[in-house]
Amino acid sequence: MATNIELRHLRYFIAVAEELHFGRAAERLNISQPPLSQQIQALEANINAQLLVRNNRNVNLTSAGHMFLQEAYQIIAQVDAAATKAARMQQGELGELSIGFTSTAPFMQKVALSLRQFRERYPDVAIHMHQMNTKQQIAPLQTGRIDIGIMRNTSLPDNLEYQLLFRERFMLVVYDDHPLLKYAKEGVDLEMLSDYPLVFFERDVGTALYDEIISLLTNVGVVPTISQEAGEAMTILGLVAAGLGISIITESFTRMKLDGVQYLPLANSPAYSEVWLVKHKNSNNSAAAERLTHLLISNIVDETRG
């Protein structure tokens, strides 16, 4: 059984087999001829097979040599391919990336742009998207099931860290012909909402927006009357369109075009919701994750400068 065969032995043999001349092969390999001959002899002894027939003028392959040459080509090609893949993975051009995201993340313009650019630039990175609300992303980030999370601001455990991507305003969504539409230009005061039923997120779904919006209303003395609850943004908008109430949403929701609803600004309200990029503090994040992070941050910075 062959042992201690090194890649250089295969490369030496391939050179001699292609040149059919030790002198030319040695020149091609940038070594002297005697060591090359010794290495080929050692290879033959190691595999217990004669690969070459030599005389003073000619070098030819034996039947075993022809077979070994094809196998050597395959081995070298596999090693080269593995090295290329490893380098590409190290550079973030190959591999897998798992991303947790809230239901509104695809409607955030810069998030959608960054994902599209990443897909175009690194088509060999397999992206696995997992829709989860903010609080549902915590455990998978801790266990490594997802690499990065795009979520709302929330309380994080000590082993997770975040980068602020951007802040977005709160907006009011009402159905067509709603009385509050007359305040479309100047904006709606939060205090006015005490007179209207709200369509709201389900509390047990655990969305960060629930806590943010309840706090927003409580701070101005409004005790919300929740007429309907839903777990998904599109469901909330559909219930509003059906006239079952109004709702407070964030600006990214307004990219959802739905007949029967209107979006209104809130007057005199400095409140906003933060969108975070969250990852594990101690995980060795892949280069692909770092590349996507860089794209997200760059696009947000470019938008701010613009």
Residue ending a domain, choose from 65, 91, 117: 91
- 183 and 291 both lie in a single domain: yes
Residue 140 resides in a domain: yes
The CATH number of the domain holding residue 78 is 1.10.10.10
Domain range enclosing 186: 97-305
CA distance 79 to 43: 19
- 122 and 248 both lie in a single domain: yes
Residue 260 resides in a domain: yes
- 16 and 104 both lie in a single domain: no
CA distance 13 to 42: 11
Residue 139 resides in a domain: yes
Residue 294 resides in a domain: yes
**Tally of domains within the chain:** 2
Residue 113 resides in a domain: yes
One digit per residue, the tens of pLDDT, for the chain of length 306 reads 556 788 999 999 999 999 999 999 999 999 999 999 999 999 999 999 999 998 777 899 999 999 999 999 999 999 988 888 787 777 777 788 999 998 888 888 888 899 999 999 999 888 999 998 888 999 999 998 999 999 988 889 999 999 999 888 999 999 999 999 999 989 999 999 988 999 988 776 656 778 888 888 998 899 888 899 887 778 889 999 999 999 998 888 888 888 999 999 998 777 788 999 999 988 777 888 888 888 888 887 655 444
Residue 2 resides in a domain: no
